[in-house]
Amino acid sequence: MKKDINIPQSKDVHIAIVLEEHPEYHTMDWNAYIINSGDTPVEMAIIVSKGFSDKKITGEFRHQVKLLPAQGYAKIEFIEKKLLDIDNQFSVTYFRDNQLFDKTFLFKAKSIKESNLENIPVMNSKGVVAN
């Protein structure tokens, strides 16, 4: 039965962790975003995030983005600094053109840091993009 389900390869959807200034507290914070760099909208995106290492594991957080327009992005969550020392995983399931897509993104421990900042597509910001 599982072999009968065709889930096409996910592309044009990315997870990035962006370093940005908090507007109220004026602190530099890391925030996770889902990005749609494609030409068609993404519908009903479900994102499950968790952090883990050999000795630690966080709870799982679930987020929903009902509609992510083409060339658009949406904030998922704030990332605490102590979570930068462990692996952070984001599993994303979504619909595009009435087809189901699924992809897991992983940020390795200590890969989210200022020296790894790069230009983020669509957002015109600097951050780290997951593999």
pLDDT tens-digit readout, 3-40: 777 778 888 999 999 999 988 988 999 999 999 999 99
What are the pLDDT digits (tens) for 75-103?
A: 999 999 999 999 999 999 999 999 999 99
List Cα–Cα distances, 36 to 20, 27, 55, 64, 115, in angstroms: 19, 27, 34, 14, 25
DSSP 35-54: EE-SSS-EEEEEEEEEEE-S
Q: What is the pLDDT of residue 10?
A: 87
pTM to 2 decimal places: 0.92
CA dihedral 92, 36, 30, 118 (to 10 degrees): 120
Residue reference for tokens 């599982």: 2
Q: What is the pLDDT of residue 2?
A: 64
- Residue 54 — very low, low, confident or very high, per pLDDT cuts 50/70/90? very high
Q: What is the pLDDT of residue 83?
A: 94
Q: Is the pLDDT of residue 48 over 80?
A: yes
Q: What is the pLDDT of residue 1?
A: 63
List the one residue out of 29, 3, 10, 6 whose CA is nearest residue 18: 29
Average pLDDT over residues 63-75: 98
Tokens read off for 73: 């992005």
Q: Is the pLDDT of residue 106 over 80?
A: yes
